[in-house]
Structure 1
Amino acid sequence: MRQHKSAILALVITAALAGCSPAEQAGQGQQQPPQEVGIMTVQSQPLTLTTELPGRVQAFLEAQIRPQVSGVLLKRLFTEGGNVDAGQSLYQIDPAPYEAALASAEASLAKANADARSTELTYKRYQKLVKTNYVSQQDLDQAEATYKQALASIKEAEAQVKTAKINLNYTDVKSPISGRIGISAVTAGALVTANQTQELVRVQQLDPIYVDLTQSSAAIQALRTKMAQGNLKQSEGAEVSVTLEDGSTYPIKGKIEYSEVYVNESTGSVTLRAVIPNPDGTLLPGMYVRAEVSTGEDSNAILVPQKGVSRDAKGNASVMVVSSDNKVEVRPVTTGEAVGNQWRITSGLKVGDKVILDGLQKVRPGAPVTTVDASKQQ
């Protein structure tokens, strides 16, 4: 009975094997064909590195107009919000008291000149008479002293006249610079005092204009370290491109003029000052902007599209490359700045490496692949 069951089982197995085609039997022992992936061949290129910094717009020149003499303001001589030239009259302070002071000083000068003339004649006459003993030497000395005092009085009177003229000129309040003038803080009839705390008005030169940017001291130190190691070189004439508050790009580029020599203790940052042409007055003092600043040049930069770089849970970056025997390898890399939709690779890749960009989800390390050029599609 057992022999009969064994024979039946053998016949069933034989029939099952006979039902498989020869191609299916052969396929059970073969591997799948290599997967096709899109790759880019790593190349180096010169690259100007940039960083985006926050900043505030500041006037190139600013004059806070205050009176230098006291008096009643007779009239305002400018249009608020308009442009004024250097030396243009802005206000007129009542000149009458200062005209009277000038007249008094000129009279004092005339009197001093007359007194000096009189004492001069006396002194010269005594010089002749002392030889004939009609006057004593003491009288001559006294005449000389009186004459010299009269000469000193002339100089004092001349200084008073000069001061009176200066004060009279100060009644005509003028702009020391050319620029755009703001809103007047006083009106005609107001009493103003010399060197008062409150400014009368403010004049600002807006073309060109400053943009003060802040950058952390740590970032500046890291940049200097890279330059010292030869990884980067100083960018000539660092250019600045400004983005306005509404996200639009200001059409004219400027340049960094200088940076502060100390670090702000409260913020740990350093101020960089850029000069930007502003012919249309688009940039106004106090505006918040963001600026893209050239920080250095990498003469052999390696760029890889961001989609070709993956990161693990700790943020470590890696790429998949195709080895010389057309197999997939995982290559750890170090990324630098983002340049558009690409990462600048600072270590881990060399010129000639083949980085996989397309088909990453279909391959595993060690798998054989065939390649097509995908770099032209990026």
Structure 2
Amino acid sequence: MTLSKSIPQSSYSASGSVKSWKTEDLGFEVSGRVQWVLEPGEDIDGRLVDPKDKTKVIMEGTKLAQIEPARYEIALQTAEANLDVALLGKEEIEIRLDESLPAQIESAEADLELAKAEFDRIEKLAERNAASQSEFEQAKNLVATRSATVLSLSASKKQAQAQLKSADAQIKRAKQALRDAQRDLDNTVLYGSYQGQISEVSVVPGSVVSAGSPVLTLQMTNPIKVEVELSASQSRKMRKRRSLPASFALPDGTARQATAFVYNIDPSADPTTRTFTMTLLMLNEKFADKVAGPIDERRVARSEDLWPIRLNQMMGTEKGVILVEEKSIRNDEAGDYVYLVTNAKHDAVLPPILKVRRQGIVKNELLIPFLGNWSFQSITFVDSQGRPESVDTDSLYVGLLDDGRPPGPEWDGESVVLDGGSQWMLRPGDLVDIDLSEEGTELGFHVPVEAIFRTSDKSSLFVVRNGRVDEIPVTLVPGDNLDEGSMMQVQSPELSEGMQVVRDGVHLLRDGQAVNVIGQSLPESGQSAVAMEAN
């Protein structure tokens, strides 16, 4: 090989396992009967609330599941009625305190003044023996009675003031009960706290769940986590790193390069493997599979659902009832219709591209909900004239096209591909290659480890000069690994660019041995390799 200064590509890599960064079991904060729940594999958005104002919703988020809200709605109405009663009770006390009692006290005080004046008059008459003793006692008793009335009304005023404070407390309690009832009603709908994917569902519609019991499992898919096992020395080197090159294969076989960011390195080793786990985070993204075959993607519509007509058996309806999924029904000026598959039947192997035709229908009254996520409409097939038409019960029809969007203008009107929807580029369980080579490898002479001749006390290279090989002692700069084909940096004042270095078979050579250079080849490393024979 021709010696030249370079920075070699490292083969020092490790395989990392992809996992979800955050995973949590979600459940309701209230108990009740599950009304509906999303299916596994659904991508969802988290509900975001302003941390300073809990009543302000920044992002509504995707509803994951719901409990039947009827009893919580009744509880909310009851709490609202109790608050109204408490407010009216306070209003009654305020009216009594501000209007009724002051008028009564004023009247009682006026009566007391009148009684005192009458008593003074009777007392003066009694001193002149002009009034009887009974009239005197009666006037005196009237003053005492009117005084007691004033005192009683004053006490009633104080009592009303205390009742007003009690009414304020009852209003606060009623408002808190109303907030609790509103919160319980809000909690009948389940939300996630971050964007992710439903990995598992633990209940079905109709199940009765208690507060806090798991309903579904949510996993974070962006960013995604990659775990790599490191040795003790590797873990210390990686603490200086903030990002690492990563590579992986996409489902179509193409290689993808990305950057993984170092999130954490375990402070202690696993007691079984004696390795340290390094956690990396990578940005994830979604992509859709390409249409297989020679057909132009623009001329094909996509659908995630394919339904058989024979659903009445599953629903338990009569034999003659035909049910179709509600979202698969389309409508235009000519009426309702579905897309019936023409090149496949219920028990046949599906072709990669389905051919469909328009089939007119008329909706009947029967509508059957199923598992809270689907509704099936009873229909009658009709021809272009609106007359009932018979359709093979083994036929299939496609569901919602392109997430409900109308097919593009270039659609040929009959070609449909079953598409599971876009998928994440990295999924839990995938493998990613992580480049662990050291950053900042300096420019120098790098040779394959097979080109280094080693003895117990020295290392050297064999350089071809004038038909002979000269052994040049070198100093090795330790690298990350010494596997076959890897490059190691060597240093020596005798080395210079352009030297012809023997790459293979150095253990068969001796210093000064004559050799014949018979050619050169260009291996994968990009270096010139000398082909020769020893004399």
TM-score for both structures, normalised by structure 1: 0.70
Contact persistence 2:72–2:181 (CA under 8 A): yes
Alpha-carbon RMSD: 3.9
Describe the SS at the equivalent of 1:165: helix
Does residue 1:287 correspond to 2:433, yes or no? no
Q: Any conservation in 2 of the 1:60–1:208 contact (CA below 8 Å)? A: yes
Equivalent in the alignment of 1:75: 36
Pair 322,105 (structure 1): closer, same or farther in 2 beyond 3 Å: same
Alignment match, 1:376: 528
Distance 2:79 2:222 in 1: 44
Deviation at 1:91, TM superposition (A): 2.5
Quick one: distance in 1 between partners of 2:242 and 2:203? 48
Change (3 A) 1:124 1:315: farther
Describe the SS at the equivalent of 1:150.
Answer: helix
Question: What TM-score does the superposition give when structure 2 sets the normalisation length?
Answer: 0.51
1:159 paired to 2:162: no
- The answer for the alignment partner of 1:299 in structure 2 is 442
Q: What SS does the corresponding residue of 2:236 show, helix, strand or coil?
A: helix
Runs of 5+ unmatched residues, structure 2: 47-60, 110-146, 288-423, 521-526, 531-535
Structure 2 residue 167 is the aligned partner of structure 1 residue 150 = yes
Residue 109 of structure 1 deviates from its aligned partner by: 0.5
Is 1:107 the counterpart of 2:81? The answer is yes
The Cα shift of 1:190 comes to 1.1
Distance in 2, matches of 1:341 and 1:286, equals 30
Aligned counterpart in structure 1 of residue 267 of structure 2, from 262, 265, 280: 262
Deviation at 1:215, TM superposition (A): 1.8
| Number of equivalent positions | 324
Note the C-alpha offset of 1:157.
0.5
Query: Structure 1 pair 362/55, CA: closer, same or farther in 2 (3 Å)?
Result: closer
Contact 1:243 1:291 in 2 (8 A): no
**Preserved contact between residue 256 and residue 273 of structure 1 (Cα < 8 Å):** yes
- What is residue 365 of structure 1 aligned with on the other side? 511
- Which residue of 107, 112, 117 maps to 2:91? 117
Among residues 232, 237, 247, which one is paired with 1:217 in the alignment? 232
Deviation at 1:159, TM superposition (A): 1.0
> What do residues 293-340 of structure 1 show as CA deviations (whole Å, max 9, x unaligned)?
45311122431134422445x797542246899761252543524598
1:352 to 480, 491, 496: 496
Give the stretch that moved more between structures: 161-170 or 58-67: 58-67
Deviation at 1:258, TM superposition (A): 2.2
1:328 aligns to 2:470 (yes or no)? yes
What residue in structure 2 maps to residue 40 of structure 1? 2
Matched, 1:92 2:66: yes
Letter in 2 for 1:305: P
Whose helix proportion is higher, 1 or 2? 1
Moved more, 183-192 or 212-221: 212-221
Q: 2:246 is aligned with what amino acid?
A: V
Q: 1:358 to 1:179 in 2, by over 3 A?
A: closer
Which amino acid in the other structure matches residue 72 of structure 1?
Answer: R
Q: Which amino acid aligns with 1:365?
A: D
Provide the C-alpha distance between the structure 1 equivalents of 2:510 and 2:281, rounded to a whole number of angstroms.
50
- Matched residue, 2:256: 251
Identity %: 22
Amino acid at match of 2:286: P
The amino acid of 1:55's aligned partner reads: G
Give, in whole Å, the separation in 1 of the partners of 2:21 and 2:238: 29
Among residues 252, 272, 284, which one is paired with 1:277 in the alignment?
284
Flag the structure with more relative contact order, 1 or 2, with Cα contacts below 8 A and sequence separation at least 6: 1
Q: Quick check: 2:242–2:261 contact (8 Å CA) kept in 1? A: no
CA–CA distance in 2 between the matches of 1:349 and 1:194? 76
